[in-house]
Amino acid sequence: MDQTTLLYGALAFVLTTAIFCYTVLVICSPESIIPVESEKKYRSRKSPSKPLPLGSIHDAKPAVDLTVVIPAYNETARLPFMLTSTINHLATIPNRSHEILIVDDGSSDGTADFALKLATSYTDSDIRVVTLAKNLGKGGAVRHGMLHGRGRRLLMVDADGASRFEDLELLWDAMDKLSSDERAAVTIGSRAHLVKTEAVVKRSLLRNILMYGLHTILRIVGVGHIRDTQCGFKLFSRAAAQQIFPYQHLPTWIFDVELLLLAKQLYIPVEEVPIEWHEVSGSKLNVVTDSLQMLRDLLILRANLLLGRWRAAPKPVKQ
């Protein structure tokens, strides 16, 4: 066998391997999230039985100062406390108009109807309940809420109440300094300062091992400059939300990393802000299976970004 034959054989092997890997990537990458008609509407205290059209992140002007997006999957047990603490704090700042979007991520425990019932107790807040036709994952629920937010600024916050909602003011003040003219900017709650405190030490050994392993992988992926990517307490200016969320692909737990990578790609400033946080029971996270899913999704995310299959547009796209 001469050298030419060997060379062509090697090239054919490399090409076949590349095509195979690319095909696997395409197959494993999540499909585009296309909402059905019912998901473009919401119910509220004022209209509990007749769904009304949602707003859009691409509306010309914001209608309120703040949109609070709460992804909820089977959260009838934890939502009441979280919603109470949220509204109690918002009531202390009456000159800041707000809306609350509770996105029911295909729950099986009646979360949407329960949230609507809770809304009747808060007559001074505009609480809107959106029901997704099927369970997408936390990332999919957050994305849906953000794309339909009407706020000048938009906050994503977990339904478990683990983050102290009053710390919104820390994120708000940081954004005032980061982007006083409401240009694209992101401020994120961080638990990095709690690593050696009881809040984290009391977590299970397996979850702490997962946390340190994830941080190592994130440095490889490209967000090692962020000490806590996974805290579910993040504030976006409207301009940042317009540029980031239409290009989010991952609907799963690790979607936060994609958001931060998109912000980095778009040169949108991101600032971490230390907040108070405590462990809350009832987490839907399965340490073993979800860890494997996170690893898979990180590999898919990195590969798609490197190959240019996923990328953000430099400017918001108007509908």
| Residues whose CB falls within 8 Å of the CB of residue 27, separated by 6 or more in sequence, listed in order | none
Which pLDDT value is given to residue 319?
38
Asked if residues 142 and 71 have their Cβ atoms less than 8 Å apart, the reply is yes
Q: What is the mean pLDDT of each run of 10 residues along the chain (319 residues)?
A: 79 89 91 90 94 94 97 94 95 95 95 95 94 95 97 95 93 92 92 66 60 69 79 94 95 91 93 86 68 84 89 58
Which pLDDT value is given to residue 317?
43
pTM: 0.89
Which pLDDT value is given to residue 78?
93
Rounded Cα gap, residues 26 and 30, in angstroms: 8
Which pLDDT value is given to residue 172?
96
Which pLDDT value is given to residue 302?
87
Which pLDDT value is given to residue 246?
94
Which pLDDT value is given to residue 314?
62
Residues 6-35 as b/e (b if ≥16 CB within 10 A, e otherwise) read eeeeeeeeeeeeeeeeeeeeeeebbeebeb
Nearest in space to 162 (alpha carbons), one of 276, 287, 71, 68: 276
Nearest in space to 57 (alpha carbons), one of 179, 120, 145: 145
